[in-house]
Amino acid sequence: MQQRETKEKRGCCLFALLQGILLVAVLIGGLVLMRDSGLLSRIYQYGKGQLHKLPGSERMASSEDDKMINDEKELVDYVNDQLETGHESFVFLTEELDDNFINNINSCTEAFYGSCSNYTTTDFGSYRRVKMTCSLTDAYYVEKNILNDEEIPSDRKEAVKLAARCQEILDGMKVDKNSEYRKEKYFHDYLVGHTVYTTEEEEKGDQDLLSSPAGPLLYGKGVCSGYARAMKLLCDLAGVKCKTIVGVGNGVDHEWNMVKIKNHWYHVDVTWDDPVPDQDHPMYAYLNLSDEAIAKDHIWEKEYYPSANSLVYDYYLLNEAFCDDYEAFYFYMQEKLKDHPKTVRVMVGDYSKENYSEENLKFLFELSGASSYSFSTCGPEGRTEIYFVFKY
């Protein structure tokens, strides 16, 4: 009797052990299945200058509707499209794009409508599913308000003020509203005339403001990104196609625009056309340049932006005020000074302090009859704008 009870106890223990082994196997298999089926994911958050891995995991599943993207430019275009259409989250699949490029996506896309704040990656064996979460800018809501008559969210008070200012500028525009060039030049001149270039060091704590359209349009101050985004906002609202370009200017991070006029793209750098220290006139050295012209002192990832090959609306070529050399400059000024103007602007292709020295400019007194003159310059080597002011 005692021997049979012992055997029964041994049998129960063996059965319990087998159950335990089976349970452990099921749990391990479940974890593997969860990882392979995309149920375990890594969550990352974009920060200023770095990426933070967040604790925890998120349950996700792949959908047949998710877009497969393996090309960097395609991803940049996709993110730009999602932000422009107001998506605060979206998903894509990838087999080839690495984390390094995804981590730096905000440096490749236009920040005008918004930016990516975090993303989650989920492994599905041969590919990954990436879910991006974004934040939208005030400019997005301003465009929806003025162009589509959509109400601005109540918590976006700065956007409400910005929309009112933009509408005021549009209502006061006294140029041919059917001319893309006239509208573009009006906004260029408005921003130069109403904005003081202000560095982030001068306005500590206001970096986001200086980089936004509200900086120039509401507070009259900004850095290059503020100028460029304000220019895009005004052009968009007036029906002129415009992009912001992120690149390098004279060796430092820089932002400017591309504007489309009569089916051709041109570069416009409003920031560099605003004299420093502030003066009462704009410069036009960077209004409607080709890729070749602006590449003298600007660098950008050309594959992410349209080509600019036309010269038709280059400001100085359009106004027949470009002189290849000093001799052409002499004859140009000879004609211009007949009417004793207070100001003359011209662009030369061979500017240097030696070529345009005080000695070589003495003829300006003889031709103009002025008692004195001063001038300022703007632009790269081979494309230097000279702005003269004469006193009689």
| pTM (2 d.p.) | 0.82
The pLDDT value recorded for residue 322 is: 98
Average pLDDT over residues 301-328: 96
- Average per-residue pLDDT for the chain: 86
Average pLDDT over residues 254-264: 97
The pLDDT value recorded for residue 20 is: 55
CATH number for domain 320-391, candidates 1.10.287, 3.90.1520, 3.40.720, 3.30.110: 3.30.110
Class in CATH terms, 168-317: alpha beta
- Domain 41-136 matching CATH 3.30.110: the answer reads yes
pLDDT in tens, 49-78: 445 555 544 445 555 678 999 999 999 999
Q: Is the pLDDT of residue 289 over 50?
A: yes
Rounded Cα distance, 277 and 61, in Å: 57
275: cis peptide before it, omega within 30°? Answer: no
Rg (CA), the chain: 30
Query: Which pLDDT band, with edges at 50, 70 and 90, does 203 fall under?
Result: low
Query: Which pLDDT band, with edges at 50, 70 and 90, does 223 fall under?
Result: very high
**Which of the residue ranges 18-32, 135-149, 164-178 would you say has the lowest mean pLDDT?**
18-32
- Check for a shared fold between 41-136 and 320-391: yes
Average pLDDT over residues 236-259: 96
The ranges assigned to domains in the chain are 1-36, 41-136, 168-317, 320-391
Greater confidence (122 vs 330) lies with 330
Contact 261, 274 (CB under 8 A): no
The pLDDT value recorded for residue 125 is: 85
The pLDDT value recorded for residue 62 is: 54
The pLDDT value recorded for residue 63 is: 59
